[in-house]
Homo-oligomer: A and B are copies of this chain.
Amino acid sequence: MTVHSIAQETKRKLILEAAVRVFARSGYHGARVGDIATEAGVAHGLLYHYFSSKEQVLETVFRENFGELLERFRAVERSDEPAPEKLEGIAKILLRTWRNDPDLVTVMVREVARSPQLQAQVGEVREAFAIVQRVIEQGQADGAFRRDVDAQLASWIVYGGLEEVLTGWVLGQLPDGDDEVARAELTAIELTLGGLRT
């Protein structure tokens, strides 16, 4: 933790943060390595000191940020709330990311879903689905949720509904004022739980 290594830490983070903004603005393919470097205020060669490729930058952006999200999903899963409340918690976490960091959500929604390699590479996404699935299974086990639906399938449907709301915000097609975001949370939870409840 010398000044030197702090600076090092800092530039890496600078690049990563710049990448999120540039990817959000131009898309992964439209973003040039030089754009990211410029946005970060460093020479573009430096990017290759910290990352092996442009793709690895995206992957890192994804992994580090989705990891955080996942951690919070896991915390919800570990809690001793009933399944419906857990699902509600997950929905809130997911939807609140929008106001928190719209650029990041933009990148996640736009790039990750489109990249099969990334999707396959990163177990994190699967893990997210698995958590939702296990919560649903728990609800089915304790009678809160109907048992005649496949939990895996249900987890995709539920997750998809939430993600599409984020997509609507990303695309500017759904209103995203404070009130609307709050209402979207309620609506999403209502519909999702409504469909699952016995």
Contacts and interface: CB of A to CB of B under 8 A. Distances in A.
Contacts of A172: 116
Interface stretch (A6-14, A61-69, A147-155): A147-155
Copies in the complex: 4
Interface in A166-198: 167-168, 170-174, 183-184, 187-188, 190-197
User: Which label, helix, strand, loop or mixed, suits the secondary structure of the A interface?
Assistant: helix
A74 interface: no
A141 interface: no
Given A110-B114, A110-B116, A153 B165 contact: yes
A156 interface: yes
Q: How large is the interface on A (under 10, 10 to 19, 20 to 34, 35 or more residues)?
A: 35 or more
Contact of A164 (B116, B126, B159): B159
A34 to B, nearest CB: 12
Interface of A: 27, 29, 109-111, 113-116, 119-120, 126, 129, 146, 148-150, 152-154, 156-165, 167-168, 170-174, 183-184, 187-188, 190-197
